[in-house]
Structure formats: structure tokens, C-alpha cells
Amino acid sequence: MRMKLVTAGLVLGLLALPGASAAAETEADTAIAAETEADTAVTAETEADTASAEELKKAVHVCVHDPSVFEDADGMFYVVGSHTASASSEDLIEWKQLNFDYGNGKGLPFYGDLQTMLEEPFRWAGFNDGDCSGNGYAVWAPDLIWNPYYVWDDGDTGAYMLYLCCSSTWRRSCIAFLTAKELTGDYVYGDTIVYSGFTKNGEFDGKSSRDTSWDNDYLNLKELTELGASGGGIDEVSDNWFNADGSWNHTYAPNAIDPNVFFDASGEKLYMAYGSWSGGMFLLELDRETGRAVYPGTDGTDEPSGNFVDRYFGVHLIGGDHQSGEGPYISYDPESGYYYLYCTYGGLMAEGGYNMRLFRSENVTGPYLDAAGGNAADNKSNGDKYGIKLIGNYCFFDQIGKRAAGHNSQLNASDGSRYLVYHQRFDIKPQLEAHEVRVHQQFLNEENWPVTAVYEYRGEQPEHYETQEVVGTYEFINHGTKSSGDMLETQLVTLNEDGSVSGGVSGSWEKSDSGRGYDYLTMDLNGVGYHGIFFRQHKENTESDAVMTFTAIGDDNTCVWGSAADTAGGEMVAGMAAESLKKVIVNAVKEHGALPSEFMGCQISWTCSDENLLSQDGQILAPEEKTKVELTALIQSGETSLERSYNVTVKP
């Protein structure tokens, strides 16, 4: 899903809310750039640093929604995203904004003059129509690739290819591509290869009066049926695409957005994954010399995966029945031998439960399985059961909370390193839907899953650590499996020297040599097996020394993170307790229960603005009528005393 905002640090933007559909896409109308605590970075070298002061750079953030990352042969990195936003970097740390949004639609990096370049796809969707009426644009989620096999009309070979999507409603969309001999252009229009939202009855959709009949000349379906399957087209339109009344069957067919283009393990075959909500996400082979689709031509079943094949849309990978899910991104890792399929569940808003999921397969067409053995193709009901959830809504002590991390790409860089690249929103008030690009390193764990580093990339690298360097107390986050807009609980967990785990969770842990230059971490936590690594990193908003972290993937599709906690003096513990008490208080007030006198190792005493509603032993008492009160907790941890008030409503 797409929205536009600009940034110079943390972006503070105003977002126009989506329409009735949870999958509706929209753009923001205004944006404000502001520096925040999240941009402060370590500048001094310490003994604990794994990178020198010269190497450890301050992250410079940019605003590119739905970022797709690309490494050019000269070592430069680029991200391209929705609303024509783009940025570049020499090191994946300090980014430079190349373009924010459409502007007047002229002279844009990669696109040039939008109305001229995209004249053909705009006949169907994406300009001055439907959700982008009023001379607006809806150009979303591009993907950039170098294709050495592309053949130009003059006989030259090799092209930079930018695949993009245009959309007017949550179902009427199309995917097109542009080509250039140089990365910076000039680009030329190639073709529009997949359309969605067409009908048999021509009915209007959204705020549009466009004829949606499938046989209009601004679609490619009539031409394909004339070619037939034997001629590179399709034999006829499929009844599966339409409901009984001739309308678009969005529970079966995809929304043609969010293209991701990649070569298979051999480097010979070119594919495009795409789709959002609706009928799910699909895979089409592309002709590597032309960039156009190789349509299956007939319906069938893919032999390796067992997934169904649609004559036009390709191999079904995941989703359907309008199940939440978008932004597919497939990346082949030659070290592990797996194709990794990423996608994002939930609604894109800060409180929409947006979260990235991960599957893998030994075959490009699937089946794509998660850590618990679930098949991505089966997720069209109860989707949260499927896919490793990578990042939820979380907050470490004294840092800005993070929300709605999603619509990622992934980079296997030329030097062998791995990176997860995504857009990140924040837990701020008022919630203005700010977002920035974030880059986190990834490392293969013992099970050959890529685990994601806790903090953003700053140039550090993991290494081997002595046991004394990793034992101790950590802020602990379990990202869970639920697509929820709630902030996750941050607990305190201790890795003890005897190999036990205590605190918020219990179990055992073990460190071992990965043979890959870093240490594996194996844990059993409350009966769930986890596999990850240790990694000393710098926090995102502090001048302090680097801290030990761990990241691991569980057999139940959860990910856990740990960041070493400074419990001396009690300031961190008291602060964390104050935040975690919010949920405890809600439950106590609802059930007329007791407020805790001990919590997370802290001693707590309570007072209430209405003394008749709180007993001496901390019991919430029922009022005769609904009453608003202020509960005040005095939290004692070590040398720290912290007072925190909570406004609640107590019901009879």
C-alpha cells in the first residue's frame, strides 16, 4: 500500500485516511520535516565498539514509502518507492533524497514527464480517475533491476528496467515497465503487461465513470485471446475472473500492483511476483529479452508447488479471499539455497497492524513454507497463523517507539552481506503517519533463516564473543504472530551463566560457533525453540557504548529480540515498569481487581484521586456510577523513585 510523505529526519505528515476497504491506498497531502531523537547517533569510539569512530556514521534518513533497494555495479545503492519517491546512498547509512513525490509530474528521476511516459497505463488507471481524481496520480511500489539479456531495437543488450504499477481503485490497476541504458536515464516506456479490475458488464467502480469491460482496446486481453495460448496469448477469458453478474471477482484474481522482478537461481529465468489483498499474490515468468510476460495460456497446477496456475495471472503463491497481504518480494540466497518470500500483512497506517512475514522454498514457484511448516498458499483464512512475523510495534527504553514496519525489499549485496529494507512509522502523538526508510542487517541462523538485527545498520559487524560478554539482563521483545495495532510488551529477561533463562520468560540458552564469523544463539523459551545470533550494536538515539543484542526466529513463527539492559540504579527498570503497568491497570480497573505492589522487580505504592475507589491493599472498588479518576503509582527500583499517573474510568 502506498502513501506519500517527505522527510529530513523524522517525517511528520498528515495522512488522508483510506476509504472503506482495508486495502484502499491513499496519498498524504502535506508533510513537515523535523529532526528527532531517533536521528541522534554515536560519534565516539569506545572499547565496546565493533566499528571505529571513522566507520560508525550517523544514519541520515529519507522518506520513500514501499522502498525497493537496488545495488548498481559502481557500488551505489538506490531505493525507489511509491509516488515516484527515490533516494541514493554510498553505504546504506547516509541517504540522499532524490525525489519526494510527483510535484508537477515533470522532469522526475526515472519517470521524466509522467503523463507522457505513462500515457498507455493511464488509459486504464492511475491518473485523474477514481481515487486519484482531480488531476492526481497513483503510481506505486516500483522495482528496479538490471537485466543483461534485454535486447534493444538497435541490437544492444542490457537494460535497467523499472517495473511499476498504476491504480485508480483498490481493484482496478495495472503493471507496466520502463527501460534505460543508464541507471539515471533517459527511460522509455516498454509495455503494460498485467491488468486487474476488468469486468464483463463494464460497471463503474469507485469515483469513476470509466468503462471496465475486459475487451476495451486499452487492455491487452482482447489481443491475447486473438493470439491464443499457442501464439503466446490465452485461449479465452476465464470465468474465474468474474462473478455471476459479470463483475470483477476480487476473491480469486489479484490486484495488479506491487511488482517484484528477479532472476532465478540459475540467473537465466526472469520472474515477477506481484499482488495485494484480493485474490492474493502471483508469479509470472517474464521474457528476459523483452521484459514482457510469458502468460501460461491455460489454467493448470504447478507441479513443484501444487499451487494453481491461472492462464493470465500466473502461479498463485499466497493469499486469496481478500485476505490481508501485499508487497511480495522474492530473493534467492545462494548460500542457503532457498528462495525467501517476504510480504506484509495488515493495514499500512501506524495503528493498522502492518507487519512483514517470511516464507521460503527450494523452488521458485513454491511451496513457500514458514518456520512452523505452514504453506503460504493456505493463508487465505486466519492469515496470522502463516508466515514468520519479523517486526511488530515495539519500544525499547528511552527510544522512540516503532510502528507498522513493512512493505520491504531485501538485498544480498555484492560483498555477501544481507539487508532488510523497509519503511517505518513511529509511536508519536499526535499520530501524523510519519515514515522513514530503515535498513537492518540480516544473518543466516542455524536453520538457514535470515534473522534481522535489532538496530539499524551503522557499519558494525558481529563477531565471536566471550560468554561473559553475552550473559546478563536484556530488554526482551517477542514480536508474536498477531497483526495488531497495539504496542508490544517489553520485558526483562536474563541469560544466566549456567545456561538458564529467567525473568519475563524462562528456559535455556546456548552459544556456539556458526562457522560464519559470528556466534549462533539457541534458546528454548517456554517450550519454543529459537535460533539466532548475538550482535553488539549501537542504539539509535544514544551517545552511549554499543550494547549486546540477540535476534532469533522461533519454531512457532515468532521472532524475539534482546537488547542489553542497564539495570544499575533502577532507572531503566522503573521506566519500563511504568510503561508496562498501563495494561495491568486496564485489566484491574475492568475487573475491579487488585493493583500490584510488586512488578518487574519494583516496589509500588498506589493512591487514587477518589479515595473511595481504592482500598488500602490496592483493590479497585466499584463506584455507584461511572467515574473518572487518576491513579498514581510510586515506583521504587534500586536508587530510583518514579511517580507516574494514569487516567482511567471505573465503571460500576
Domain assignment present for 524:
yes
Check the CA dihedral 446-447-449-454 and report its sign: negative
Q: Which of 37-46, 208-217, 381-390 has the lowest mean pLDDT?
A: 37-46
Q: What is the pLDDT of residue 543?
A: 57
Same-domain check for residues 123 and 218: yes
CB 631 within 8 A of CB 624: no
> Per-residue pLDDT averaged across 113-126, rounded?
98
Provide the CA 537 distance to its chain's centre, in angstroms.
22
Q: What is the pLDDT of residue 55?
A: 60
Q: What is the pLDDT of residue 580?
A: 87
91, with CB counted inside 10 A (0-12, 13-18, 19+), is: middle
Residue range 143-179, pLDDT digits in tens: 999 999 999 999 999 999 999 999 999 999 999 999 9
Print burial letters for 37-50: b (CB count within 10 Å at least 16), e (below 16): ebbbbbeeeeeebb
Q: What is the pLDDT of residue 563?
A: 97
Same-domain check for residues 155 and 251: yes
The boundaries of the domain holding residue 638 are 584-650
> Per-residue pLDDT averaged across 34-41, rounded?
34
Domain assignment present for 591:
yes
Task: Report the candidate in 194, 187, 121 with the shortest Cα–Cα distance to residue 152.
Answer: 187
Residue bearing cell 535489532 = 454
CA 212/CA 12 separation, integer angstroms: 38
Domain assignment present for 432:
no
Q: What is the pLDDT of residue 53?
A: 45
Going across the sheet that includes 338-345, the strands are 326-333, 338-345, 355-361, 388-389
The model's confidence at residue 351, banded by pLDDT at 50, 70 and 90, is very high
Average pLDDT, the chain: 91
CATH of the domain at 555: 2.40.128.10
CA 274/CA 259 separation, integer angstroms: 4
Same-domain check for residues 641 and 548: no
CA 162/CA 328 separation, integer angstroms: 16
CA 462/CA 442 separation, integer angstroms: 11
Same-domain check for residues 541 and 619: no
Assign 585 to helix, strand or coil: helix
Residue range 466-498, pLDDT digits in tens: 999 999 999 999 999 999 999 999 999 999 999
β-bridge partners, 86: 80, 99
Residue range 553-587, pLDDT digits in tens: 999 999 999 999 988 888 989 998 998 898 899 99
Q: What percent of the chain has pLDDT over 90?
A: 86
> Per-residue pLDDT averaged across 514-538, rounded?
97
Same-domain check for residues 605 and 532: no
457, with CB counted inside 10 A (0-12, 13-18, 19+), is: buried
The model's confidence at residue 115, banded by pLDDT at 50, 70 and 90, is very high
End-to-end Cα spacing for the chain? 43
Structure letter (DSSP) for residue 467? H
Q: Phi and psi dihedrals of 84, rounded to 5?
A: 70, 15
Q: What is the pLDDT of residue 398?
A: 87
Please give the helix or strand (H or E) that residue 584 lies within, else none: helix 571-591
Residue range 218-256, pLDDT digits in tens: 999 999 999 999 999 999 999 999 999 999 999 999 999
CA 98/CA 84 separation, integer angstroms: 10
CATH of the domain at 231: 2.115.10.20
Q: What is the pLDDT of residue 554?
A: 98
Residue where a domain stops, chosen among 263, 292, 316: 316
| DSSP, residue by residue, 460-523 | -------HHHH-EEEEEEE--S---SSPPPPEEEEE-TTSEEEESS-EEEEEEE-SSSSEEEEE
Domain assignment present for 200:
yes
Q: What is the pLDDT of residue 542?
A: 59
Q: What is the pLDDT of residue 569?
A: 85
Print burial letters for 572-592: b (CB count within 10 Å at least 16), e (below 16): bbbbbbbbbbeebbeebbeee
Q: What is the pLDDT of residue 544?
A: 67
Residue where a domain stops, chosen among 316, 337, 367: 316
Strands (E), 46-156: 68-71, 77-80, 86-89, 95-99, 139-151
Helices (H), 384-524: 467-470
CA 469/CA 644 separation, integer angstroms: 34
Residue where a domain stops, chosen among 274, 290, 316: 316
Residue 30 clears pLDDT 70, i.e. is over it: no
Q: Which of 100-109, 497-506, 534-543, 578-587 has the lowest mean pLDDT?
A: 534-543
Provide the CA 651 distance to its chain's centre, in angstroms.
39
> Per-residue pLDDT averaged across 286-313, rounded?
98
Domain assignment present for 12:
no
Residue 261 clears pLDDT 50, i.e. is over it: yes
Q: What is the pLDDT of residue 568?
A: 86
> Per-residue pLDDT averaged across 434-438, rounded?
96
Same-domain check for residues 489 and 633: no
Domain assignment present for 381:
no
Q: What is the pLDDT of residue 324?
A: 93
Domain assignment present for 4:
no
> Per-residue pLDDT averaged across 294-314, rounded?
98
Same-domain check for residues 539 and 602: no
Nine-digit cell string for 454: 535489532
Residue bearing cell 525467501 = 340
Same-domain check for residues 480 and 613: no
Same-domain check for residues 611 and 537: no
Residue 208 clears pLDDT 90, i.e. is over it: yes
* Residues involved in catalysis: 66, 326
CA 64/CA 68 separation, integer angstroms: 9
CA 483/CA 326 separation, integer angstroms: 13
Q: What percent of the chain has pLDDT over 70?
A: 91
Which bin fits 555, alpha (ψ -120 to 50), beta or left (φ > 0)? alpha
β-bridge partners, 288: none
> Per-residue pLDDT averaged across 441-456, rounded?
98
Q: Which of 11-15, 243-247, 338-342 has the lowest mean pLDDT?
A: 11-15
Task: Report the candidate in 481, 479, 509 with the shortest Cα–Cα distance to residue 493.
Answer: 509
Q: What is the pLDDT of residue 52?
A: 46
Nine-digit cell string for 162: 523499472
Same-domain check for residues 594 and 557: no
Q: What is the pLDDT of residue 601?
A: 87
Same-domain check for residues 232 and 299: yes
Nine-digit cell string for 154: 538497435
> Per-residue pLDDT averaged across 499-513, rounded?
97
Domain assignment present for 346:
no
Residue 49 clears pLDDT 90, i.e. is over it: no
CA 499/CA 507 separation, integer angstroms: 9
CB 567 within 8 A of CB 603: no
The model's confidence at residue 38, banded by pLDDT at 50, 70 and 90, is very low
Same-domain check for residues 612 and 496: no
Number of domain units in the chain: 3
Residue 8 clears pLDDT 80, i.e. is over it: no
The model's confidence at residue 295, banded by pLDDT at 50, 70 and 90, is very high
